[in-house]
């Protein structure tokens, strides 16, 4: 049951005006439209609230109150303010008071939403599989949590350029932002439109002001990996201290996610790379061979070359293991240079190497062996076996065994007769 106070009374409306509040940021902006002024005489108040104003309607109302104070109402926000009926600045005073109430309401709502928003952000970072996904998540959630007109997280490349991640839907996006790194991006700060002009403090930031309505840019570094940028069109926009705290926290979490991905990539690289020659290892070959074999089953050409060094044991025994390692590295470098970009070259084990020619033929395999022998010259002898895929082969291992058998047959045929 609703209980009403017995001392309820009607309050006289002193002023009412539409304001056109823009609530997309921290500070609401008043855009007065005098043609839509509401006549105070046409509205009555009960219990201190307007009868015809629903929650969220863009009106500033000033109600006559006791002791020289009035009740200022904007949407569903109300508060007590000094009021003078004959003050010519009454409208401006009311608008300033309404802006304060609106800003505080927005700040309170942002604080209430923040924990849930951060949880969603952390979950998206944990699910990211590459750097671009991390940076897109950072930009999206910074825009959603802190608010601005646009946002973008730029990756720092080895060349020193800052570049936006590749869009997931290129046809639906504008051109990627690309600009030079500036040391000022190493700290949080603001860039005004005049700073990005020729002769300004940061003329290299001009790409961020491609929108002629952009008046300022807020930037926060993402470690040494990039920078988060928020563009704003509103002159009166103020980035509060708590906004900077949130932006720094979001950037820090993105930096940690980038480090996690790099660590995983380093571990993966170590697990698939031969530490001596830098070529792929047996594990790498097995992974690539599975894809190449499936393509061969669908009709794509595939060939394999198995290589072995002649007299490698004697090199180790007479010159030492250091000389043997240098020889293996030289062979690995020669293989990497002579093979096609699409070929997969690995150190199979010991002094044995393997080249997987995706889309290649047995003839291409023999040509690779000849180029390799010519490059190495008399430094070391090469024995090789080549096999190409045929539909009769049941497994990829069968193709490798055939190439291996041809290698030993060729080596045996070169041995001098006793």
Task: Give the active site residues.
Answer: 351
Nearest CA among 245, 102, 229 for reference residue 162: 229
The Cα–Cα gap between 338 and 383 comes to 16
Indicate the burial class of 23 (C-beta count within 10 angstroms; 0-12, 13-18, 19 or more): middle
Q: Which residues contact 319 (CB under 8 A, 6 or more apart)?
A: none
How many C-beta atoms lie closer than 10 Å to residue 346's C-beta? Answer: 26
The Cα–Cα gap between 340 and 27 comes to 60
Extended beta strands in 139-254, E state? 150-156, 161-163, 178-180, 189-192, 216-222, 226-232
> Which phi and psi angles does 407 have, rounded to 5°?
-60, -50
Contact predicate 229/154, CB 8 Å: yes
Contact predicate 85/50, CB 8 Å: no
Contact predicate 369/386, CB 8 Å: yes
Q: Which single residue is written with the structure tokens 């990756």?
A: 155
Nearest CA among 59, 66, 69, 67 for reference residue 101: 59
């Amino acid at each position: 049951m609703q209980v009403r106070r017995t001392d309820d009374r009607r309050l006289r409306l002193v002023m009412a005006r539409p304001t056109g509040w823009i609530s997309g940021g921290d500070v609401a902006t008043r855009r007065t439209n005098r043609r839509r002024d509401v006549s105070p005489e046409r509205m009555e108040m009960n219990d201190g609230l307007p009868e015809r104003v629903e929650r969220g309607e863009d009106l500033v109302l000033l109600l006559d109150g006791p002791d020289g104070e009035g009740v200022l109402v904007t949407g569903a926000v109300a508060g007590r303010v000094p009021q003078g009926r004959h003050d010519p600045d009454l409208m401006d005073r009311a608008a300033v008071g309404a802006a304060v109430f609106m800003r505080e309401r927005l700040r309170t709502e942002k604080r209430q939403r923040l924990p849930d928003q951060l949880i969603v952000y952390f979950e998206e970072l944990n699910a990211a599989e590459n750097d671009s996904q991390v940076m897109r998540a950072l930009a999206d959630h910074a825009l959603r949590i802190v608010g601005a007109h646009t946002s973008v997280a730029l990756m720092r490349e080895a060349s020193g350029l800052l570049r936006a991640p590749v869009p997931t839907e290129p046809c639906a996006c504008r051109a990627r932002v690309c600009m030079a790194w500036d040391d000022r991006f190493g700290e949080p700060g603001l860039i005004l439109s005049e700073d990005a002009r020729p002769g300004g403090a940061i003329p290299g930031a001009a790409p961020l002001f491609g929108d002629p309505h952009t008046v300022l840019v807020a930037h926060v570094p993402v470690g040494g990996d990039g920078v988060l940028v928020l563009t704003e069109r509103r002159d009166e926009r103020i980035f509060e201290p708590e906004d900077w705290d949130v932006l720094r926290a979001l950037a820090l979490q993105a930096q940690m996610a980038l480090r996690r991905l790099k660590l995983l990539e380093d571990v993966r690289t170590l697990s698939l790379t031969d530490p001596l020659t830098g070529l792929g290892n047996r594990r790498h070959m097995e992974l690539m061979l599975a894809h190449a074999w499936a393509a061969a089953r669908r009709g794509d050409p595939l060939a394999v070359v198995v290589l072995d060094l002649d007299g490698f044991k004697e090199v180790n025994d007479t010159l030492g293991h250091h000389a043997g390692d240098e020889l293996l590295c030289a062979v690995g470098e020669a293989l990497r240079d002579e093979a096609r970009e699409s070929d997969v070259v690995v150190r199979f084990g010991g002094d044995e190497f393997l080249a997987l020619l995706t889309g290649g033929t047995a003839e291409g395999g023999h040509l690779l062996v000849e180029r390799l022998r010519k490059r190495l010259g008399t430094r070391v002898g090469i024995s090789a076996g080549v096999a190409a895929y045929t539909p009769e082969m049941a497994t990829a291992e069968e193709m490798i065994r055939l190439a291996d058998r041809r290698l030993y047959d060729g080596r045996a045929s070169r041995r001098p007769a006793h």
